[in-house]
Amino acid sequence: HDPRRRDFINIAAVAWAGVGAGVIVLPLINQMNPSADVLALSTTEIDISKIEPGQSIKSTFRKQPLFVRNLTPKEIAEADAVAISDLRDPQSLEERTKAGKKNWLITLGVCTHLGCVPLGAGEGENKGPFGGYFCPCHGSAYDTAGRIRQGPAPTNLVVPEYAFTSDTVVTVG
Ligand code: FES
């Protein structure tokens, strides 16, 4: 009798059971979610007519939080005053907005560190030391262009694909 050999057989049996469970679980999960191609095609229309300068709304896009913010002239000036070379993820406000619509900052509301939802889009929420958004999980601070300025997040808040389908409607996706 060799105990080491029996251990090996037991471990192999357990590992095999684990693989089997994985194979059974995956199709169930896939049935509950829309398929990847459906998600890829889905767009979200947002009415921006009621968002005054200085206000933001929280929406969702493909199941992720989405922030739509109407920047004030002061917030635009603050973003423009920053030297791009000082930024961790160098991008101008121009590059992150549409031509002639620099006041509309549209980003995912997902911190690029570990994915928490930053504060700052809701009425009265803490916008953090750079006046944009503040992630309470580990203290990442974003500026009025949604660019990372302080804390562990590596990159700016993501700007999704979007277009103005009228003066008051934005279609994201
Ligand atoms: Fe936002 Fe860590 S998830 S700082």
Residues 6 or more apart whose CB falls under 8 angstroms from that of 68 comprise 46, 48, 51, 56, 57, 59, 104, 105, 106, 170
Residue 56 shares a structural domain with residue 20: no
Residues 118-142 pLDDT 10s: 999 999 999 999 999 999 999 999 9
Q: Is residue 164 predicted with pLDDT exceeding 90? A: yes
**Token duo for residue 152:** 């562990």
Residue 54 shares a structural domain with residue 137: yes
Domains in the chain: how many in total?
2
Q: Is residue 25 predicted with pLDDT exceeding 60? A: no
| Residue located nearest, by CA, to atom 3 of ligand 1 | 114
DSSP per residue over 45-61, as a string?
Answer: EEE-TT--TT-EEEEEE
Among the listed ranges 36-45, 49-58, 93-102, which one has the minimum average pLDDT value?
Answer: 36-45
Residues involved in catalysis: 138
With the most atoms of ligand 1 within 8 angstroms of its CB, the residue from 88, 108, 116 to mutate is: 116
What are the pocket residues of ligand 1 if the criterion is a CB atom closer than 6 Å to any ligand atom? 111, 113-116, 135, 137-140, 151-153
Residue 104 shares a structural domain with residue 29: no
Residue 110 shares a structural domain with residue 52: yes
Interface confidence, given as ipTM, is 0.99
Return the CATH number at 132: 2.102.10.10
How many A from CA of 56 to the centre of ligand 1? Answer: 21
Residue 19 shares a structural domain with residue 71: no
Residue 68 shares a structural domain with residue 99: yes
Range of the domain at 22: 3-33
pTM (global) more than 0.80: no
**With contact defined as beta carbons under 8 Å apart, do 128 and 142 qualify?**
yes
Among the listed ranges 15-24, 82-91, 109-118, 145-154, which one has the minimum average pLDDT value?
Answer: 15-24
